[in-house]
């Protein structure tokens, strides 16, 4: 175990798995090993209400309490929780879920397109650019991170069983929603990144550090294909319910 020092603080890293504050420090819960942790707005709460799901825990933040439910699907108990936007916020809850038992996790969320891609297209990120700060607290500094191969395969099987078309992609994970400049967008395109979001690389890093399986489903929402005219489109709203179903079908494949 060692601290790797650098003149730039975000590039400094301590490989010690034990922290002063651990995510399971209070010994509060015991979650199922299968988990769906998704960026789907109100869809999860609507689903939980519709299915009368039992709440088995909660993550308390300063701004909001995140309920954690249990859902029995295809003879497996699945932990279900909404994910908050942003690498730091989402990884904090992911680490919490892992700390209390989650080992096989699937997420889903929207992304912006950097190239001319239609809205509501499903994607599987196989590599993510670490242009956020959180992942550097979990893994050594490196430009990109690759997705867990078992999770990618599980997601692919879920798409095939549902007869849903998809593409694999490289995604740009960034903290700077309002700092996606014209030149930077063009630079990312040249590197081969076709979509942008805010959490994927950090979630992958946390899962790899904690030695669990994590995979993410993306669906296209707004577009930056025309850098002179950003288009919100409908923020991928047409994909929410299907994305949640695909998460359940993928996680039981792990």
What are 121-160's pLDDT values in tens digits? Answer: 999 999 999 999 999 999 999 999 999 999 999 999 999 9
User: Does the pLDDT at position 27 exceed 90?
Assistant: no
CA distances from 156 to 7, 79, 126, 151, 217 (A): 42, 21, 12, 9, 10
User: Does the pLDDT at position 26 exceed 90?
Assistant: no
Assigned fold of 29-251: Rossmann fold (3.40.50)
Handedness of CA 35, 122, 145, 197 (dihedral sign): negative
Residues 140/122, Cβ–Cβ less than 8 Å: no
Q: Where are the alpha helices (DSSP H) in the chain?
A: 43-50, 87-99, 149-161, 182-191, 200-210, 240-251
* Nearby residues of 54 by Cβ (< 8 Å), 6 or more positions away: 69, 70
User: Does the pLDDT at position 1 exceed 80?
Assistant: no
pLDDT for residue 190: 97
The per-residue pLDDT for range 160-185, each reduced to its tens digit, is: 999 999 999 999 999 999 999 999 99
Residues 195/114, Cβ–Cβ less than 8 Å: yes
pTM equals 0.97
The per-residue pLDDT for range 193-240, each reduced to its tens digit, is: 999 999 999 999 999 999 999 999 999 999 999 999 999 999 999 999
């Amino acid at each position: 175990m060692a601290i790797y020092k650098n003149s730039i603080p975000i590039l400094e890293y301590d490989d010690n798995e034990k922290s002063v504050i651990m995510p399971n420090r209070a010994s509060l819960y015991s979650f199922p090993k299968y988990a769906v942790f998704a960026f789907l707005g109100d869809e999860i709460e609507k689903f939980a209400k519709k299915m009368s799901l039992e709440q088995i825990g909660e993550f308390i933040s300063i701004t909001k309490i995140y309920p954690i439910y249990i859902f029995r699907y295809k003879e497996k108990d699945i932990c279900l929780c909404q994910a908050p936007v942003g690498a730091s916020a989402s990884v904090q809850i992911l680490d919490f879920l892992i700390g209390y038992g989650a080992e096989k996790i699937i997420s889903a969320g929207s992304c912006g397109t950097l190239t001319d891609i239609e809205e509501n297209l499903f994607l599987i990120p196989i590599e993510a650019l670490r242009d956020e700060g959180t992942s550097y607290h979990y893994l050594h500094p490196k430009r990109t991170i690759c997705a867990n191969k078992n999770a990618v395969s599980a997601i692919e099987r879920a798409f095939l069983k549902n007869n849903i078309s998809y593409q694999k992609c490289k995604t740009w994970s960034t903290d700077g929603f309002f700092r996606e400049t014209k030149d930077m967008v063009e630079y990312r395109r040249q590197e081969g990144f076709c979509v942008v979001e805010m959490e994927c690389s950090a979630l992958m890093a946390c899962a790899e550090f904690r030695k669990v399986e994590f995979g993410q489903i993306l669906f296209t929402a707004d577009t930056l294909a025309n850098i002179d005219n950003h288009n919100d489109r409908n923020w991928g709203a047409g994909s929410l319910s299907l994305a949640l179903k695909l998460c359940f079908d993928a996680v039981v494949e792990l």
